[in-house]
Chain A
Amino acid sequence: MTSTLIQNYILSPKQTVNQNLQPNQVIIKNPEKPKPNFDIQKELDNRTFIKPLEGKGRLLSGNIFNAPAIMFKDMVYDAKALKHAIKGEANDHELGKLNDFGLFLGGLAIASYLFTRKQTPMTKGMEFVGLASFLGAMSIWPKIAIQLPAYLIHGVNVQKQYEDSFGRKKPFYQDPQFLPWDLYSDKEIDKMGDRLGVPRDITNRREFIQEKMKKIGIQNNTLWMLTAGFATPIMSGLICNLVEPHLNKYLDNRTNKAADKILTNLDNYSQKYKNNALEQELTKLLDANQNKPLTKELEESITSVMTRYMDAVTAESFKKDLKEAAFGKPTYKIEDKNVKEILSNLNEVFKKVPGADEEFLKAVVPDEKGLISALQENGTFGKNIESVDFSTVTDAVKNLVVKNAKAYNESHPDKQKDIRYIRKLIMNNMGEESHSNPVRIVLAKATSKVLDSNIIGKLKKVVKFIDNFNMKQFALDEYALKKVGAAPETVIANYWNDVSKDLMHTLGFTSEEIIKTRSDRSLMGQVLREKIEYVVSDKDRYRKVMEKLVKKIAEINSKIKTSDLSTPLLNKTSSNSAYDNIVDSLFDSFANNLRKPDIGFERTARAISGVDKNDIVGTAKQLQKSYVRDRLLGVKSSFYRIINTMDFYRRIASDANSIPALKGKYIELQEELIELCKRITLDGHSSDYATKFYMMRNPEPTMEYGNVEVKNGKVVNKYFGKTQELTDIPGDKYFYQDAMRLMYEGDMHSETMAALKESSIKDEVIRYRDLVLEKLGGEKYFAKPRHLIRAENKTGSDIKFLLTGIAPDELIFKTGQQLYNSKKWLKIFGGFGAALLGVTVLAQFFIGKMKAPERTGKK
């Protein structure tokens, strides 16, 4: 530790204690004789007397180059402070530092806890970004809003730090009652005085400058305290807003790469899921029940373990296979205890007979011996029987009971009982699953089949196959989820958000337009139509927008390569994607294992991979593939639809009259067609396609042939919209066919093709248009059976839904709302933050005002 003043005095050379002094040794020292003519005032003036140590304090100056070193030094200091505090030896400065450490630790605890609560990498990451931004804002605000303006305006660094003689770092202006001015040289103070505009010809210039600097320091410290509360949360929020897109991009790349690694390295990656959980659990269950009766409950427990991760269809098949191929046909054995139980049940059941009393029950319920001998007679007692033999047992019981009941009726003419009712009580619920038949309920439990080593051996083999299959399937599921899962922050979700936002920007939506139309989809749709019509009205503008759009949309094929994951409907290639190949191999191999003669789980094998390659409907393998295909198809269709929409608008804008679907028609009909198609391409849902479009039209159009007039991308309607009496014309199949042709048939515009030329999505977009014609155009609607443009097909509604994708106006509407939310927040808090910064900076001009002493006129 650095010596203190008094220590220096004690240890000064003349008075240093002899450290080798023996405890009892007395040293007598003659006091020095006073110097002749000793003058205390002279000595003090000459500073030859006891004087304080040279101060070791120094002003600190940090810059970007020594920042890491300073940071490291501070960390070491904090670590030492912690050590001292634990021992109870810390000083005030060190304890102050530990409060900052506590603040950081608490923040870290909050971020870590919330990290565990969040589901996605982005939201998890933002918890730590939030902490860092908050701590950062606390430290940045005084630097940019206080220190920098004060320095630029006054030339005074109000956040100046110094290190005292004990190596403790402190803000220079922290305590206005104790400012270590001695750390500033006269030259430095003078220079600052000049910068502060302090006249040179005043008395005690240094003191005046110091007073002025002190005043500036106090005022700025106060300003800091008054503004930091407003500034820190806002700055923190703004920093988060700035960081979020970059973090999102980074995490998106990371997720995508991680997903790619799963597919290329599935065998290794799937080891992550290798825990043989089912095998362990099943083994435990089987071992505990070895050679014990294979009861229904035990069967259910075994089934429950083995089907835990199966889909419902596969599990149902598996249950049946287990029963037939593993457990075998159940056998039952009737013994004395079962007979007793049957008799007890009969006693209970016959109490329901009207007027039943003890005497009746005694008379009608067979005695134990009688029943046993009856069962012995029909060969069911003490032998293994099957469930089909249950009726033999119930018949024997019934015969005895009926015989007894008849005898009772004969002996009790006044208490006649209904024999048919008594018979019904025994014979009802004939099924094996009966839970109320007094005989069958006992028989069902009298199982004689045991869980023997054969069954156990087979089950253990099967569960190994299941564990191995699950391990890889989980890895594949993880891959599918990361790439195309219906969850936030998957590769496809990030792509969707990215393209949607970019689309708004590319089409030139302004903040005002978003604000005005954000709460009404149709209003937003109208603005979108205006934007598209504006874009398509000019060749260059269209080219630029289309190139940008195609480039952005085509990113999907670099994020999710068609060689990895494909949409067979859109990709004509005959070769399977890597994902499909892996799924085929995995599922087929699992199915083949289950098909092996010693296993014989044929039903399950069929449920998993079908009878052969062509049998794909409803198999687990097909489900695994179709989930990713459908997700991908839905997203691609949505964006390809936008390209097609833009193309259609451009074809109308550039040369509507050369389009075959419009040729040779009345002008009014052409106008109706174009209007319908413009609407359908923007807001049509799959139901609109399914019902073959609905439009209020003029049933008696003006019979004038000619060209439609198009101006600035819009049709100048000559007739459309001018007729009052409009109606839908459901029988006009040609109108439907022409509309479909107009939207999807024929070549795309040359400028669109130019933009698509080098793109990876070119073929897919062309194929998309064909598919719409084929699948949607070949869809039969019972109310308009001839409204077809392609041969009728039996495509499922899921594919039609996916091909339609999201309507562009809906996409823009949703994206617009998200953008509005972000912009609104930014406007409120960004505006407030900017105003606060402005006021804080402006305040500097009112700071440090002091009346200078009278000037002497001497420099």
Chain B
Amino acid sequence: MILPVNNIKHNINFSAGSNEKEKKSFNSDYDHDTLLPSTTLTNIRIGMDKLTNAFTLYPAKGLKGSKNANFYEFLTMGTVPYIIGSLGLMAVFNFANKFFSPFDKVQASKIGQKMALGVVLYGVFKSLSKQLISRPVNMLTGVDTDQPYAKVNYELPDHINDTDITSIEYHKVFESVEFPRWDLLYGDETKGEKRNFRYDKIAKKLNMGDNLNDSDQETKPRIKEIIVKSNLAKSISSYLWAATGVALAFQQPWEEYFKVMTFKFWKPKEFLKSLKIFGRSFVNSAKNLYKGDGRGIAKHAGKILLGVAALSSIFGVINTVAGVKKSPKSNSKVINPNEKHVVS
């Protein structure tokens, strides 16, 4: 593998390097691509970092047309329209209401508030529902499809005095199915870790046996399959769950919450009451969505939507796991010398 040029290890510095503050801050970051723990805290930290950069650093670079702007930054900036668009949607359905006559205002606000809540629940359900795929898959196969790592990028200096030539990007090890970062999963033998300990774990979970000589090579094709299938499951099920979130927001019980809704946490009594009623409205709305009202399809639409979303997650996990959990003997990926094989 071609390793990235590391200016720290080789003491390459484009400046005098006398700035201690700069040095300290850089050293506190990563000096090479680093596997990060897949914890909620890390994910929140990464999310906040990406969000901050998406609204500040990357647009600044992009608007300048920086030669260092890259695809990662472009993709990360995708959060901007997502968040602003959500707020925009809320505004479209609510902002003008205050100018309407009292009766019209009440009627318009009823729909507007549900729309706004729908936007929020869309995002929440979409985000959380991915866990319905990745957690069971991780549990059943040992493959953490959300495993993050920090990538150290070396940029071109903007000018002769530009010493800050590194940028940290947060990726997932299995972000690319064609180029997963296999290298990051190897153990550090200098720290006493077995080189293939992560692959061994996966191989065991996949019923491929213990103490394989080359568990990495054995598991890689299966891991790839898991990544592809779990990605598909996430893509489909997360949007269906998001739709369920919107449907939930459109239930009548929320109207009780809208009457007492407040975000003024500095008024604890009102805020706690609002939270309590939020919980109650959530439960009642969920029941309402399931039970439905009206006749025919209208009565069962909520059930159907919930069912489809749940089934998409269940089938997603089954499709991901079922094919790969088989004995090594039945592995069709074993090379047949009589067949033509191509390394791609």
Contact = CB atoms under 8 A, between A and B. Distances in A.
Nearest to A225: B77
A85 interface: yes
Given A102-B236, A106-B242, A175-B71, 6 more contacts: A17-B340, A90-B232, A92-B177, A109-B308, A225-B77, A234-B88
Given A19-B340, A237-B92, A824-B100, A95 B71 contact: no
B323 A88 contact: yes
Nearest to A4: B344
Interface of B: 58-59, 61-67, 69-71, 74, 77-78, 80-89, 91-92, 95-96, 99-101, 104, 108, 126, 176-178, 224-226, 228-229, 231-232, 235-236, 238-240, 242-244, 246-247, 250, 294, 297-298, 301-302, 305, 308, 319, 323-324, 337-338, 340, 342-344
A102 B74 CA distance: 21
Contacts of A99: 235
Given A19-B340, A817-B104, A230 B88 contact: yes
Given A23-B338, A95-B228, A825-B96, A218 B71 contact: no
A218 B176 contact: no
Contacts of A594: none
A361 B246 CA distance: 71
Given A95-B235, A116-B298, A821-B96, A109 B88 contact: no
13 contacts: A6-B342, A23-B337, A103-B239, A109-B305, A110-B242, A221-B74, A223-B63, A232-B85, A519-B101, A820-B100, A824-B100, A828-B95, A829-B95
B236 A7 contact: no
Contacts of B302: 113
Interface string A88-124: 1111100100110111011101101110110000000
A110 B246 contact: yes
B78 A233 contact: no
A44 interface: no
B104 to A, nearest CB: 6
Contacts of A817: 100-101, 104
B229 A86 contact: yes
Interface string A788-832: 000000000000000000000000000001001100110011000
A237 B85 CA distance: 12
| Residue among A109, A218, A225, A237 with most chain B CB within 10 A | A225
Contacts of A307: none
B70 A175 contact: yes
Given A88-B226, A226-B80, A518-B101, A221 B62 contact: yes
A222 B63 contact: yes
B227 to A, nearest CB: 8
Contacts of A216: 65
Contacts of A177: 70-71
Interface in A146-182: 174-178
B85 A228 contact: yes
A195 to B, nearest CB: 18
Given A218-B62, A233-B89, A237-B92, A117 B298 contact: yes
Nearest to B100: A821
A105 B240 contact: yes
Contacts of B228: 84-85, 88-90, 95
Contact of B247 (A95, A110, A223): A110
B344 to A, nearest CB: 5
B225 A88 contact: yes
Contact of A109 (B64, B69, B239, B294): B239
A311 B271 CA distance: 50
A842 interface: no
A160 B235 CA distance: 26
Given A110-B246, A218-B62, A821-B96, A86 B232 contact: yes
A848 interface: yes
B297 A116 contact: yes
Nearest to A17: B340
B59 A222 contact: yes
B178 A233 contact: no
A222 B224 CA distance: 33
Contacts of B95: 828-829
B65 A233 contact: no
Contacts of B77: 222, 225-226
A13 interface: no
Contacts of B297: 116
Contacts of B91: 233
Given A23-B337, A828-B95, A225 B80 contact: yes
A828 B99 CA distance: 11
The 7 closest A-B pairs by CB, nearest first: A229-B84, A106-B239, A222-B62, A88-B225, A215-B65, A109-B243, A229-B81
A176 B71 contact: yes
A10 interface: yes
A847 interface: yes
Nearest to A229: B84
Nearest to A846: B63
Contact of A848 (B65, B74, B104, B178): B65
A438 to B, nearest CB: 46
Nearest to A22: B338
Contacts of B61: 222
A230 B84 contact: yes
Interface in A173-199: 174-178
Contacts of A103: 239
A295 interface: no
A656 B236 CA distance: 75
Contact of B236 (A92, A105, A214, A829): A105
B150 to A, nearest CB: 19
B91 to A, nearest CB: 7
A232 B177 contact: no
A225 B302 CA distance: 34
